[in-house]
A and B are shown apart, each in its own frame.
Chain A
Amino acid sequence: MNPEMNKMPWYNRLDLPGVTFILFLLLAASSLPALEGSGRDLDYWGNFLRFTDQFFPPDWSILGQTMEGLWETIQIAGISTFLASLFSLFLSLGAARTISPRWLVFMTRMVLNIIRTIPSLLWAILAVVLVGSNSLAGVIALSLYSTGYLAKFFSEAFESADLKAQKALRSLGSSRWQAFQYGLWPNLRPVIWSHCLWMLEYNVRSASIIGYVGAGGIGLHLKLYAESAESWNKFSLVLLCMLVIVTLLDFTGEKVRKSIREKLEGVN
């Protein structure tokens, strides 16, 4: 080490990551009381073993209705992601600094921040209050929640897009729309599609849980089995099916995104 470094006071060697790391350690240390629990003398390990014992073997007799619930969950996620993608395309134009005036960017981003601040479960509760306990509530909740994220991602894609091809087409006499369609959109499309796929995966997971508050899908099944006695083996089957579906979606989504990345990065 440089001898000059040893002469420096210790705090002069700290940079922002260093300071934040120390603050994080302090926060973790000051949060230790959260590990106390109820304070009652419970047999945690025994409880855990008893509980997991009831999980196995999963009850395969409910496979049919579980698949129906899962299908409804996927439907909620699919239509929500589709609707959110449409809303987001328009909203992202307003939120992109390279396209819209500053006042519109500020307003749109403010709205998107508010939408993102509210968790999907809270959106679901609000939607259930509005339209009752059904899958439409799930669609409303996830469409709103996803729009908050997708519009942000899309606007960032617009801002970082390479505009040279679009300008080249304008200089070759094309109209604004043609230059957008053939010069800018082809560069944006793969990135936007990649974000949509990610959102679909995320929404399948979210749609599984919002049923817990009555917004349709497999969450309702989970709630029923968790609340009724001796149904943990049914609960475990639902979890198993969800695991399979989410893993399949993750795998497929990653494959598609990898292919998009490779194509965009090209051979150069």
Chain B
Amino acid sequence: MEENCLIEGQNLSLRIGERWLVRDLSFSANKGEFIALVGSSGSGKTTLLRALSGDTPLANGQVITHADCPLPVGMIHQDLQLAEGSTAIKNALSGCLYRHSSLKTFFGFPDEEKNRAVTLLQKLGLGQKLNQWTSTLSRGERQRLAIARTLLAQPSILLADEPVASLDGKWAGETLNTLKEYAKDQKACVLCSLHDLDQVDQFADTIIQVDPVNHEKWEVKCNPSTKA
């Protein structure tokens, strides 16, 4: 095992009913690495991410995490899972709840957490909407908010299920750039399912891609564009 490795999948196999989604996938993700999961809709990207987070049981194989921090894994879900009746800033800040006691957060959040949240939300284009109810934000804004919440939680392994699906080209690029910077700065790894091959080419260090012929087989390869 490499010293920098944060998460390993060993001979992972996943299935839904009789249908195999993944067979014998092995990979490892290192500190600072951005990994893209690529495959058509229904190929099993979400199920694979959920299996890595521990939410879905594996049919075979094992997932080993080597992260030594209070929150090893954090996931950005496709359905966002935000508190719609809460303001944008509170939703973002709820990512850092685990760092403080319930008594402390009962009355609010420390100033340093607030400052960090505001800076991140401004970077993601939500600076003018901090105190707006989440339900009144657009789908794209809510998606960036869900990303901000998980980034503020600072997990070592960040799993992102189609995090830029509702974003226009500009914000998709900005957001993926933020995720990539996060991996580098925090020495974390990001595993992210993507559809746009240009984005994959631009941001991914490693690509885990479903085989176009045998849909149960997944192939792990380095991205030559970013390796250079």
- Residues on A lying within 8 angstroms of B by beta carbon are 162, 164-165, 167-169, 171-175, 177-179, 181-184, 186-190, 263-268
Contact = CB atoms under 8 A, between A and B. Distances in A.
Contacts of A267: 136-138
Contact of A173 (B82, B98, B149): B98
A164 B81 contact: yes
A266 B136 contact: yes
Given A164-B79, A167-B81, A190-B85, A174 B94 contact: yes
Contact of B97 (A173, A188, A265, A266): A173
Interface residues of B, number: 33
B150 interface: yes
Nearest to B98: A173
Interface string B79-116: 10111111000110011011000100110000000000
Interface stretch (B24-32, B67-75, B201-209): B67-75
Contact of A186 (B86, B105, B106): B86
A176 B91 CA distance: 16
B139 interface: yes
Nearest to A173: B98
A268 to B, nearest CB: 6
B137 A266 contact: yes
Contact of A178 (B70, B86, B105): B105
B95 A172 contact: yes
B75 A171 contact: yes
A261 B74 CA distance: 32
Contacts of A187: 83-86
B165 to A, nearest CB: 15
Given A177-B102, A181-B106, A162 B71 contact: no
A190 B138 CA distance: 20
Given A172-B98, A184-B83, 20 more contacts: A164-B79, A164-B81, A165-B84, A165-B91, A168-B77, A171-B55, A172-B74, A173-B71, A174-B94, A175-B98, A177-B102, A181-B105, A183-B94, A187-B83, A187-B85, A263-B133, A265-B135, A266-B135, A266-B136, A267-B137
